[in-house]
Amino acid sequence: MNRDMVLFDMDGTLTEARKPFASFLSSPLWSLAQVADIGIVTGSDLDYVQEQLQVLIENHSIRYCLHILPCNGTKWLSPPRAPSTAHTLRYEAQMEMEIGKDKYRKLIEILIGMQLEVVDYDIPLTGNFISTRGSMVNWCPTGRSANDKQRRHFKKFDKKNRLRNQMFVKLRSILDANEMQDITVKLGGDTSFDIYPRGWDKTYALRHFENWNTWFVGDRCGKNGNDYEIFKRCEGQSYTTDSPSSTIKIIKEIINRIRNSL
């Protein structure tokens, strides 16, 4: 019988956006770890995962069955085997090598140009607008250095004016005009865009667990969300959540389904 792997998105699923792990999920995840391995697959890079999920990675008993899959799973860190050891980087892919240096440079130039356009909007401009993560690029018009107040301002403006939707359509058009149809653009979290080679969405993480029985839980499962493809791939064993508190009920249901299948 195949082993069970339950993959979770991070922001909006196990944490509030850019916040630490929701501690009330500690007990449900421990119960889940008794019947399955657990993976965290997120568009964020490893530094954000370590910052937000520090308690799980370093101090929680589930760390020994916890797989860390940053950048949509194009990086994979396997669980430690002893208290004195850390997670081990087993795999890492590079976007620049996949699409070529010239196309990668052109993409960055396009994003710089689009960032210059958003300065005319009533949004905070904080810094760290374009984040290169090895296997993907994250573009955040308000800047990933935004504090909570600045993020709320941007989210309110974006909800009213659909700024990201406008930028999404324009960016997609520019990429297509430059023969970059092999580059995917997705809405990332509440404030940014995840940009990566075609096929490097979160289904990439499934490559590491081909012989496993995989499940998925995420909050951005709509068509332009960065959970959409893996949600569809795991259909029948995938769940949409709207907050960490809603994730509790989902974890309990998955546990019951796994136990009933034994």
The catalytic residues are 9, 11
Burial 221-236 (b: 16+ CB within 10 A, else e): beeebbbbbbbeebee
Cβ(4)–Cβ(35) below 8 Å: yes
The Cα 158–Cα 164 span in angstroms is: 7
* List of residues 6+ apart from 155 with CB closer than 8 A: 190, 191
The amino acid at 80: P
Q: How far apart are CA 102 and CA 105, in angstroms?
A: 5
Contact between residue 192 and residue 220 where contact means Cβ atoms under 8 Å apart? no
What is the rounded CA–CA span in Å between residue 29 and residue 127? 35
Please report how the helices 244-261 and 26-33 are oriented relative to each other, as an axis angle in degrees rounded to 10: 20
Q: How far apart are CA 219 and CA 230, in angstroms?
A: 12
